[in-house]
């Protein structure tokens, strides 16, 4: 019956993790998957998360019942405030609907399926940045959209190709959906400036394009949750109707708990009410109800001011360590006189650096030094620590010279 099933290509990032785990060399370094590691190279359970789990475990009314279709109410209301701001007019006017999702991926998928049915211009494509997180294409194609790309990275200078981006958006057909990374762009670590976001908003409004923000790194970009939501809030003020996929995987370290939210913003309370019924229907048909454990942890942190303060400290611990690694790597490469310029390592923000190394060089680093990075030259700075930084810098120096 299944003779016609061909082999699917492996997911490059997940495959890299598998190869890293199988590598028995003691010097191996994992700069592949975007997951935070502490200075000992170990996964980190945030103190705020530990405390939230303790609070939940002692709650006498705790149980394992199904969640309602919307998810954990403390999570969805807290998550919406986190994204749109406590004083958001869209929230005050009840123009936002928020549903709990299976992390960022699930939020994108529910949004993609909703749009496949209700996008205002039938057959309008979905635009993703070149480059982007590899799963974007897969998610939107799976939901039946045609996926196109817009220029994003100037691969020579490793800066934003704003002119190329504006040109591509100008040429997009009316009603196209544009996936935008709210902050800390994956894989490049390059974000538009406020002025560039204004340009993007202006052309998107003119061309009647639909923004679909993906926010997986709030708190990792500028060090402030509010600043990292700046673009989304600006687009709301601009008057856009839009979608936002929000992940708590990275900023709460809840990777495996699959905790996130999908938000929609419309121009009226009544439209939002109708949208909510359709989003609920899509979610019901895909996951039925969201998963409770991560939702309750994140909800507990968002609603409790002490836990929230602890979370801000935890975010600072993570983003400060990543910044130190950025500074350290750049300084070492410059000290070694490694050919090329390395300022982009500290100019870029978030969890990743788009180093400019190519696929051959990535392969060389893996084979000779047991250093794992994606073949587009992206490194996860969270994989660096004070014990391996020097080793990695020397390896990069070697591969660049050879
Ligand atoms: N979007 C981007 C740009 C990402 O980098 C990621 C994770 O790496 C996600 C979404 C979603 O991840 P998750 O489904 O684990 O929340
Ligand atoms: O490192 C990245 O870009 C991500 C990591 O369910 C990831 O692809 C891994 C598993 C997952 C979501 C994201």
Ligand 2 contact via 389 beta carbon (within 6 Å): no
What are the C-alpha distances in Å from 62 to residues 55, 65, 243? Answer: 10, 9, 32
> Of 277, 385, 268, nearest to 326 (Cα)?
385
How many whole angstroms separate alpha carbon 276 and alpha carbon 273?
5
In terms of DSSP bridges, do strands 352-354 and 378-380 run parallel, antiparallel, or are they unpaired?
Answer: antiparallel
Q: Please, what is the Cα angle at 259 between 284 and 97, to 5 degrees? A: 55
CB 274 within 8 A of CB 300: no
Measure the CA–CA gap between 110 and 150, rounded to whole angstroms: 23
Which positions ≥6 away from 294 have C-beta within 8 Å? 248, 254, 257, 258, 259
CA–CA separation, 38 and 279 (whole Å)? 38
Encoding tokens for residue 148?
Answer: 């196109």
The interface predicted TM-score (ipTM) is: 0.91
- Residue 81, number of CB atoms within 10 A of its CB: 16
d(CA 184, ligand 2 centre) in Å:
14
CA of 133 to the centre of ligand 2 (A): 8
**CA-closest candidate to residue 261, choices 246, 271, 281:** 246
Q: What percent of the chain has pLDDT over 90?
A: 96
What is the per-residue pLDDT across 364-379, written as a single tens digit (0 to 9) for each?
999 999 999 999 999 9
Rounded to the nearest integer, the mean pLDDT of the chain is 96
pLDDT digits (tens, 9 = 90+) for 66-124: 999 999 999 999 999 999 999 999 999 999 999 999 999 999 999 999 999 999 999 99
CB 88 within 8 A of CB 104: no
| Ligand 2, atom 10, residue with closest C-alpha | 14
Q: Is 216 near ligand 1, meaning CB less than 6 Å away?
A: yes
Instruction: Looking at the CA of residue 187, tell me the nearest atom of ligand 2.
Output: 3
Measure 120 CA to ligand 2 centroid, in angstroms. Answer: 31
Distance from C-alpha of 256 to C-alpha of 270, rounded to nearest angstrom? 36
Q: Which of 315, 314, 296 is nearest to 304 (CA)?
A: 296
Question: What pLDDT was estimated at residue 342?
Answer: 96
User: Encoding tokens for residue 329?
Assistant: 């790597």
Structure pTM? Answer: 0.96
Which residue numbers are catalytic?
A: 133, 214, 250
Q: Strand (E) positions, 241-351?
A: 242-247, 259-265
Asked if omega into 207 is within 30° of 0 (cis), the reply is: no
Give the integer Cα–Cα distance in Å for 203 and 167. Answer: 9
Which residues make beta-bridge pairs with 211?
Answer: 178
Q: Which domains does the chain have, with CATH numbers?
A: 12-44+320-401 (3.90.1150.10), 73-303 (3.40.640.10)
Q: Please answer whether residues 272 and 45 qualify as being in contact, where contact means their C-beta atoms are separated by less than 8 angstroms.
A: no
Q: Name the residue with tokens 């050919």.
A: 339
Render pLDDT for 300-317 as a digit per residue (tens, 0 to 9).
999 999 999 999 999 999
């Amino acid at each position: 019956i299944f003779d016609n099933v061909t082999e699917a290509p492996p997911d490059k990032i997940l495959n890299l993790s598998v190869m890293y785990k199988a590598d028995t060399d003691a010097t191996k370094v994992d700069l592949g998957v975007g997951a935070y590691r502490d200075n000992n190279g170990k996964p980190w359970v945030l103190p705020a998360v530990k405390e939230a789990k303790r609070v939940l475990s002692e709650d006498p009314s705790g149980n394992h019942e199904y969640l309602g279709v919307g998810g954990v109410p403390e999570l969805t209301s807290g998550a919406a405030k986190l994204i749109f701001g406590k004083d958001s007019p869209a929230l005050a006017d009840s123009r936002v609907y928020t549903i709990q999702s299976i992390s960022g991926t699930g939020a994108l998928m529910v949004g993609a399926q909703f749009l496949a049915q209700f996008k205002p211009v039938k057959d309008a494509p979905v635009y993703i940045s070149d480059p982007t997180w590899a799963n974007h294409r897969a998610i939107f194609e799976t939901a039946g959209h045609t996926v196109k790309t817009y220029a994003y990275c100037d691969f020579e200078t490793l800066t934003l190709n704003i002119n190329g981006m504006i040109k591509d958006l100008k040429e997009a057909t009316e009603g196209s959906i544009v996936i935008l990374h709210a902050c800390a762009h994956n894989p490049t670590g390059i974000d538009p400036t406020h002025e560039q976001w204004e340009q993007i908003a202006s052309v998107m409004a003119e061309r009647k394009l639909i923004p679909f923000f993906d926010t997986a790194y709030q708190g990792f970009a500028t060090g402030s949750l509010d600043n990292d939501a700046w673009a989304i809030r600006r687009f709301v003020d601009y008057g856009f109707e839009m979608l936002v996929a929000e992940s708590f995987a990275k900023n709460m370290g809840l990777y495996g708990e699959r905790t996130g939210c999908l938000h929609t913003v419309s121009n009226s309370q009544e439209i939002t009410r109708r949208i909510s019924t359709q989003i609920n229907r899509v979610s019901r048909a895909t996951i039925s109800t969201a998963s409770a454990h991560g939702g309750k942890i994140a909800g507990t942190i968002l609603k409790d001011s002490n836990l929230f303060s602890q979370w801000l400290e935890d975010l600072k611990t993570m983003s400060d360590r990543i910044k130190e690694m950025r500074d350290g790597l750049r300084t070492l490469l410059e000290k070694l006189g490694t050919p090329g310029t390395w300022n982009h390592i500290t100019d870029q923000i978030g969890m990743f650096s788009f180093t400019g190394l190519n696929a051959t060089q990535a392969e060389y680093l893996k084979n000779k030094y047991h250093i794992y990075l994606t073949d587009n030259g992206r490194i996860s700075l969270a994989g660096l620590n004070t014990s391996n930084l020097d080793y990695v810098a020397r390896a990069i120096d070697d591969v660049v010279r050879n």
